[in-house]
Structure 1
């Protein structure tokens, strides 16, 4: 008997942020640098997570630049 389970989701969360000089190129809102976390889950069990830094717009939420 074969059973396939392909329930995989990936979520990005902003853990903390600090204001930074500059504006968003899309909406001209303010920008902040933040610690991001990416969580990949398979059947509701976290199997992989990655922490990284990114510059994020405070108004529209767009990721303007990311640092590995």
Structure 2
């Protein structure tokens, strides 16, 4: 018997942000520290949540550094 389970999607959500010193290396805009939440769904059923912090750009949204 073979069972297939497909990864449907993985979403990143910004919960809150605080200003941080520094600039983005890609676009030169300011940076902020964000509380992030990643949720993973397998076969359309929520399966896993993880909360973590990241240093993100306020203009382009790039993740510059993550603190897990």
- TM-score past 0.5 threshold: yes
Q: Which runs of 4+ in 1 moved over 4 A?
A: 2-5
The residue number in structure 2 matching 1:18 is: 18
Once residues 66 and 44 of structure 1 are traced to their aligned partners in structure 2, the CA distance between those partners, rounded to angstroms, is 27
The residue number in structure 2 matching 1:63 is: 63
Give the C-alpha shift of residue 34 in structure 1.
Answer: 0.5
- When the two chains are superposed, the root-mean-square deviation of aligned CA atoms in Å is 1.5
Give the C-alpha shift of residue 28 in structure 1.
Answer: 0.3
Matches within 5 A, 1:9-48: 9-48=9-48
Give the C-alpha shift of residue 8 in structure 1.
Answer: 1.8
Once residues 44 and 22 of structure 1 are traced to their aligned partners in structure 2, the CA distance between those partners, rounded to angstroms, is 39
Q: How many residues are treated as equivalent by the alignment?
A: 68
In structure 2, the gaps of 5 or more residues are: none
Question: What TM-score, normalized by structure 2, do the two folds share?
Answer: 0.89
In structure 1, the gaps of 5 or more residues are: none
